[in-house]
Each structure stands twice: as structure tokens, then as C-alpha cells.
Chain A
Amino acid sequence: MIRSNMVPPPMNVPVKPSAAIAAVPDTPLYEAGKTVYPQSVKGRFRTVKWVLMAVFLGIYYLLPFVRWDRGPNSPDQAVLVDIPNTRFYFFFIELWPQEVYYFTGLLVIAAMVLFLMNAVAGRVWCGYACPQTVWTDLFYAVERWIEGDRRERMKKAKAGLTARRVGELTLKHGIWLLIAWWTGGAWVLYFADAPTLVKDLATFEAPMVAYACIGVLTFTTYTLAGHMREQVCIYMCPWPRIQAALTDEWALNVTYRYDRGEPRTSTKKAADLRALGAKAGDCVDCLQCVAVCPTGVDIRDGAQLGCIQCGLCIDACDAVMAKVGRPSGLIAYDNDVNIERRLSGEAPVYRFVRARTLIYTGIIALVGLVMLYTLSTRTMVDVNVLHDRNPLFVSLSDGSVRNAYTVRFLNKRSDLRTFELSVAGVPIPVVHVIGEEPGSRTIVAVGPDQTREVRVLVTVPPAARIEKSNGITFTVRDVDSGDTATATDHFFGP
């Protein structure tokens, strides 16, 4: 670093080499990460976190094995991303690549739900539902089970390697790798028939890409949840930065109520002070809130980037408050507005109905309704048309004009269907589907859950007067059910 008070030495004066080295910056640019040893804790929020962890991991690991009957020609896996056949199945929903906008809708809803959660209760996603939090929590549980609680782990980390220590570490990393491997293994099950793939994986007959995916995810899970932990939240994740810009003063956060806690004193001194009628803070400076924190922050410093708002410090503090005979809730879901109000003697108010919560809810409802509507009115037949680029039109020997199109039929039903193709927009069009008998009705059969591409020639007789470019409409009608779909294109003339 160049400091502003540093001037280059005059050229004619010899300078000792050490003078250049003297200009070292005062503070280091790199700070080594401190290992966090969260202490175990019991309480409301810890229980909520255990339950949510069980639910989320249960869904993730077991969902691929849930079956859903879709008839004879479709897979019976409830949730399946079928890449070779380009289909996505989610219980009663089946999506084709053309319908990728449903995912856009889902992503919009996901973002808005995240924003809404943030407007109501801050980083509740980070604290309870984020996979990084859930898996890190699981890995900490394994670590605690093998190596003991905070103090023991800190002691063992400082002590040298004994045979017992090596055994513990081997066991810990072994279990971590096992969980990580299972995590990767569950991931690939969403992309193929799960029971079959499990069998193939076990007998080493699964495709290479499955093993590669499991390998990559094993590595990332083991690294992120076992080794990087809170550093992912603090250094890698964009959400804390975005969240800070999105939040407002009404959002509930895990808050140290400094109006109650300050000044910090020991239990005894506080009792003495109170006996004299003086003000004493409830915080006994026991540092339990810091000890249990999975990201190693001190919540008493206020809302901060490192705090994932998991509520474990609330549990820790409430336990201490119970012991020292003070009311619980020194740390609680609260906000600075209410701390200020309490300081000035007013009653706290909580406002959940605010412009931003209403707007987020409105957008969620709107996008959800649009998706629901399109999903319920989703057609089971579709048609795409592509005009020949070269030539745009052909003049025939009798003066007729012909245009050629590639027409793709989409049959989204799981049975074979026949469609009738008709054309409108130009006078007296003669339609010929290559491969079908000319002159016959333009009937095209499309297999179950398939698309079929045909070459279609549309000819207009010489008597017909047509423009250089004419709008043309292709209509596809299911002969049996009467379902129709249309596509528009152009018919070019000389």
C-alpha cells in the first residue's frame, strides 16, 4: 500500500534498502477465519430447527421414491426431470420444454416469498430453511456427537494428535462424507427412475454422468457444510447483501433489547443496584449468546451481516434469564423501532400490514393465479410452424404459387391421436403433407406424448389474387375430441 505521506527519496541521496520496506500497511489485508465451536442449546427455536431439518431432509432424500400413476405410457415417479425425453413431471403436472415459462413464474414466486419473509421476519430463510444452514446444522450435530460440546472440541483442537483423536476425526469425516455422498446420490435420483437407478448405482451399471454428479455433489456438500460453514454465509452468499438493501425498520429481527440489557453487570451487582432503586441491565455478560452462535457473532452488537437469525441465542439467553430469575426475551424477534419506543416509555407496536408486505403478497397472488389459470387451461395439443427460408415461394408450371412449411404437431396426451390440419388466409389453398397421399384429407397421426414434424406444401392456384406477403393460419384439430391449436405465419407470392 502506498501511503499519502510517503514521498519518493531524492535521487542523489543513497537510500538503504530497508527504508522501502518500512512502508508496511498498519492493518493486514487478510484476516484468518476463526473456527467457530457452537455450543449445544435447548429451547423453542432449537426444537423448531430440529423439526424443520427433519422435514426438509426427509423431503429431499425420500421424494424421488414417491410414485404417481400417470397411465401406461408415462413414468410413475412423482417428481422427475426427464432430460432424454425433455419432460418435467411434478405429481399431476407434466411440463414440456416449450412451457419453461412456468419455471419463470416459480422463480418469481420464490423471489417474492423470500422478500416477503424478509419483510416480516428478516433472514428467517437463512436461519431455518437454507440448505447451507440445514446441512451445516446436521454436520455440527455429527461433530458434537463424536467430539463433544464446545469446550471439549476447543480443547481437543489445541491438543496434539493422539490415537483416540485420530480415531474421532476419521469417524467424523467418514460420517460427513457418507452424508455428503447420500446427498449427491439423492440428487441424481430426481433425473431417472429412482429404484432402477439405485440398483444400477449399486451394481456399477449406472451411467458415468450419475457417478460424476454424485462425486461433485459429495465434494461440494462435504466442503461447504463440513469445512466452510458460516464462511459461505459471510463471504459467498449474495442474499445478506441484497437483504440489507431490502429490509426496513419494521421487519422483525433477532434483536438484543439493549433498552433492557444495558448497562451489563453481574447478577449480584445488579441486585444491589436494584435494591438501591438504580437502573441495572439484565445482561449478565455471560457470553452464552456468542457461544451458541453458529456463525460466531455477538448479537449484542446489533443486526449484522454475519447473523443468520436462527434464534439459537434467544434460546441460550432465555435459559440464562430463567436461572438468574429475570424475565425471558432479553434477546427476541423484535426491531429497533420498539426498542426506541420502550426507551421513551411507549408501548411497542408491530406492523405486519405495510406497503411492501402487501405488494409482495399481491405479486405472489397474481403470479400464482396466472400460473394456476394457464395450468388449468393448458391445451393438450399445440402446433408450431416454420416457413422455408429458401426458396420463399415456388412458381409452378401452370402459374400456381407454392410455399413450403415445416409443421410440428405436439400431442401432450398419453395416447395416440389423429389431427386434421387446415389452412386459412389465402384463397383456395391446396394442402399437401409430405408422406401422406396427395388429395386425401390432411390427417396426421401423432404418437402418445410425442411431437411429429411434417413438411407441408400449400399451393394457391393461378386464378387467385395474392399479395407479396399474406397472413396464413394453420389450425390443428383433434379428430376425436375437437381440441384445436393454431399458429400463424406468412404466405409469400411473386
Chain B
Amino acid sequence: MAKEDIDAVTGTATTGHEWDGIKELNNPLPRWWLWTFYASIVWAVLYWIAYPAWPLVSSYTSGLLGYSSRANVAADMAALQALRGEKGAALAKAELVDIEKDPALLAFARAQGRAAFGDNCAPCHGTGATGSKGYPNLNDDDWLWGGTLEAIHQTLQFGIRSGHANARENLMPAFGKDGTLKKDEIVQVASYVRSLAGLPVPQGVNLEAGKKLFADNCTVCHGDDAKGNPELGAPNLTDRIWLYGSDQEAVVETITNSRAGVMPAWADRLDPVTVKALAVYVHTLGGGR
């Protein structure tokens, strides 16, 4: 090897390369850096062997440790079931009406119900179960299909117009669209219905005619006193809670084109214990009867 060429200014050896009088100083990478680099290469190779790494045509190299995020989810779910353990089993066994009498079971059911509500029900009913137009507020005491624990449980299981064989079904006729009632008749009925709830009526509307039309067309479902019928899912028209709004236009729209909200059947999507917990949770929000 030729004699080392030492750069005069810095005192560092050069690599011997020179371009237009500019020399390259020989400053090799530090040892520790190189060893870290080699170690990380070794680490990468070991990682390929141990963990899923390379894509194949129809699958991938699964790795010796058998790691899989899907398996992790399954394990987490099993761990959750194990965690619920005794209390979960007790909840599965308990009769609906007995749950609220046992403080520990009630707390457990409400906690599980709250979590399930947030995951499944909040998109329509809201995180506080306060609902919105067309989606009932579950905190109040107005229930289309009944507010007992049993009724809530049934609605949860099979839904409303959900397509499930046991779903709750009813049909509010579209009086305007079907031509059963004329426009002015609809206004008369709407005004009469609003007057029942103590709401103001437009001037010059014949309420007597509205009352007669109501008696002829509506009392079958809503009842002579217009207080509704939870067996049929017919709402009480005399109270202060209006699912689709209480102004004149909203009521006219309901009578003209009907309303038909849908609630999914949860028996097919959630396990029975969760549905039970949900029923208890909704019932204990405050409105339950």
C-alpha cells in the first residue's frame, strides 16, 4: 500500500481520490454505527422468520410465532367473555323484571347496556338517547309500542318494520297521497289534532269538520280520545311529545304522506345477554314504565 496521504489543514488521511484539487478526507463511519447497522439487518431477517412478512401469491409467510391480529381479536373477545364471567352468566339467567331489584346486577347490566348503546343505538337515538326528529327520545315517558321492560325488550329484539318475522308492524295510511282526504280536509284534521294537544289553530279553520273527519278515519287506531294505542304502535296525539314535530306543516305532512320509521331487529346482530342489558339500560334511563 502506498504511503498515506495526510491532508495538511485537518491532519486527516485522505482516500486518495482527487477531483480538480479537491481531496476526499477519509472519515469512515463510526464502529458503533456500523455494528448497529449490521445488528438491525440481522434483526430484520429474524423478524421475517418470526412474524408475518412476505406476501405470497394467495397468502403470506405466517412466521414461526404464529402472530395474527385476527387471532388477537378473537382472544380479546374470549377474554371479555371470561371477564364478564359470573356476572355475565347471572345476567343471562336472570328474569328481566328481577334485574333491577338486584343492585349489583343492575349496575352490571347498565354498564354493559351503556357500552352497547353507544356502539349500536347512538347513531339514531343519540349518545344521550335523546333522539331527534323521527327517532324517539328514550328518556321521556312517551312510548309508541309500550314502555314496560317486556315491551322495550321485544322492540329491541325484533325491531319495527325491520323485516323480521316477529317485527312490530303497523301502517299509517297516506290520506293525501291515496286520495282518501282532500287538502282542505287534511288541514281541518291536522288543526283538530293540534287543538287536542292544546296547540294554537290557524284562523278560520272548521274544527267541527276536523273532529268529524277524525272520528271517521283516525279513531280506529288512535282511539276515540286520541290517546293512541301501544298495541298498534299508534301514538298519543294529546300529549306534548311529537316524534315528527308539532307544527301545522309537520302534522299535515304526516297525514298526507304517512310516516313509517324503521328500527332494526337486534336479536340477529347482538347476543341475547347484550340485548337484555340494553333493555334494562333503556328502561332505567327514566322513561320506563
Q: Decide if B236 touches A397 in the complex (CB within 8 Å).
A: yes
Contact of A397 with B11 in the complex, beta carbons under 8 Å: no
**A15: which B residues are within 8 A, CB to CB?**
11
- Judged by DSSP, the binding face of B is loop
Q: Tell me if B141 and A396 are in contact (CB < 8 A).
A: yes
Q: Which of B9, B103, B285 contacts A11 (CB 8 A)?
A: B9
Q: Mark B268-289, 1 if CB is under 8 A from A, else 0.
A: 0000000000000000111100
Residues of B contacting A439 with CB < 8 Å?
none
The docked-state distance in angstroms from the alpha carbon of A388 to that of B128 is: 9
Pair A434/B106 contact, Cβ less than 8 Å: yes
Q: Known: A11-B9, A14-B8, A435-B103. Contact between A397 and B142, CB under 8 A?
A: yes
Chain A interface size, as a band, is: 20 to 34
Q: A395-B240, A398-B240, A399-B240 in contact; A453/B137 too (CB < 8 A)? A: no
CA distance A304 to B8 in the complex (A): 53
Q: What is the CB-to-nearest-CB distance from A9 to chain B, in angstroms, rounded to a whole number?
A: 10
Q: Contacts A402-B286, A404-B285, A455-B284: A396 and B140 contacting too (C-beta < 8 A)?
A: yes
Tell me if A397 and B9 are in contact (CB < 8 A): no
Residues of B within 8 A of A238 (CB): none
The CA of A319 and the CA of B239, in the complex, are separated in Å by: 100
Answer whether residue A457 sits at the interface, using C-beta atoms and an 8 A cutoff. yes
Residue of A nearest to B8 (CB): A14
Report Cα–Cα, A91/B126, bound state, in Å.
51
B140 touches A397 (CB 8 A): yes
User: Once bound together, how far apart are the Cα atoms of A14 and B11, in whole Å?
Assistant: 8
A325 at the interface (CB under 8 A from B): no
Residue A117 lies at the interface, judged by CB distance under 8 Å to chain B: no
Contact across chains for A394 and B286 when beta carbons are under 8 A apart: yes
Contact digits for A377-410, partner B, Cβ 8 Å, 1 yes 0 no: 0000000000011110011111100101000000
Contacts of B139 in A (CB 8 A): 391, 394, 402, 404
Contact A453-B140, Cβ < 8 Å, known A390-B130, A397-B236: no
| Residues in chain A near residue B286, CB distance under 8 A | 394, 402, 404, 457
Map CB proximity to B onto A440-457 as digits: 1 under 8 Å, 0 otherwise: 000000000000111101
Assess whether A17 is in contact with B141, with CB atoms less than 8 Å apart: no
Cβ contacts under 8 Å, A388 to chain B:
128
Max chain A CB contacts within 10 Å: which of B100, B130, B140?
B140
Interface positions of B from 79 to 136, Cβ below 8 Å from A: 100-101, 103, 106-107, 110, 126-130
B99 to chain A, nearest CB (A): 9
**Does A323 sit at the interface, judged by CB under 8 A?**
no
**A interface footprint on B236-253 (CB within 8 Å = 1, 0 otherwise):** 100111000000000000
Give 28 pairs: A residue, B residue, CB < 8 Å, sorted on A.
Answer: A14-B8, A15-B11, A17-B11, A388-B128, A390-B126, A390-B128, A391-B128, A391-B129, A394-B139, A394-B140, A394-B286, A395-B140, A396-B141, A396-B287, A397-B141, A397-B241, A398-B239, A398-B240, A399-B240, A402-B139, A402-B286, A404-B286, A434-B100, A434-B284, A435-B101, A435-B103, A435-B106, A435-B284
Q: Which residues of B contact A (CB under 8 A)?
A: 8-9, 11, 100-101, 103, 106-107, 110, 126-130, 137, 139-142, 236, 239-241, 284-287
